[in-house]
Amino acid sequence: MAFIDCHFYSEALGVSASMHVILPQAAHSQIGMASQTRGSKHPTLFLLHGLSDDHTIWMRNTSIERYASELGIAVVMPAVNRSFYTDMALGSKYWTFISEELPALARSFFPLAEERERNFVAGLSMGGYGAMKLALSHPDRFAAAASLSGALDIDRFAREQALMEDFKLIFGELNRIEGSENDLFALADHLVSSKKPAPHLFQCCGTEDFLYEDNLRFRDHLRKLSIELTYEEESGNHDWGYWDRKIQNVLRWLPLPARS
């Protein structure tokens, strides 16, 4: 695998932005690595970080490079600070950055596939919310999305955390989240009414996680809408031991195209 640390100017943010990128490499003598490639342009997983982290965290706390090398998939890990993947009420346009600018820039820098069936998104905690938001908002762009311990009921979560200044900066008036473009429940409703094909969805959360009840509510909402969902739960907390295990499940679950 090739690893690239990228820093570039973002027009959406008006400042320098960062991402880590893992690219497949055709190699036969890397010690301890099973390398694969899938043609000239690589299927891509956009892998999102949580509230307290940045674009470096997946590389530092999991073996994502080793896991991805076995599948021949590129992994793009951007930094969005504490934005909850939104165009902030008082801050930068991180939703525009993550949903529009970043995919186009990444594909201009690297040989990444553009087709829906070769693009996927996943994330943990805040990133799990971001992954579902991307897939439900743009089902024509992503074949699959996965949330690991996601903050999926953002209306309830933001109200509970109302004393945190972040949420006022991100969402503005917290009583306006429900039913908005930031509400995953409303986005799922809209996807069904739009009649567009739904991405494959994966959701997991540890039963001791403080976001477990939020995950149950979102799971049940998707089931009520008859949106196909792979759901996993087991004993676990909001920690990297759990996420390192579960990202391996996500990678095995992804509907990757056959190697060419």
Q: For residue 233, give the amino acid letter.
A: E
Please give the distance of CA 3 from its chain centroid, rounded to a whole number.
19
Q: Map out the domains of the chain as residue ranges.
A: 2-245
Torsion angle in degrees (nearest 10) through CA of 132, 88, 81, 204: -20
* Measured CA distances, 35 to 27, 65, 193, 259 (Å): 6, 10, 42, 13
Q: Is 64 helix (H, G, I), strand (E, B) or coil?
A: helix
Q: For residue 166, give the amino acid letter.
A: D
pTM for this one? 0.94
Size of the chain in residues = 260
Per-residue pLDDT for the chain (260 aa), expressed as one digit of tens each?
899 999 999 999 999 999 999 999 865 555 555 556 656 899 999 999 999 999 999 999 999 999 999 999 999 999 999 999 999 999 999 999 999 999 999 999 999 999 999 999 999 999 999 999 999 999 999 999 999 999 999 999 888 876 567 888 999 988 899 999 999 999 999 999 999 999 999 999 999 999 999 999 999 999 999 999 999 999 999 999 999 999 999 999 999 987 65
Domain 2-245 grouped into CATH 3.40.50.1820: yes
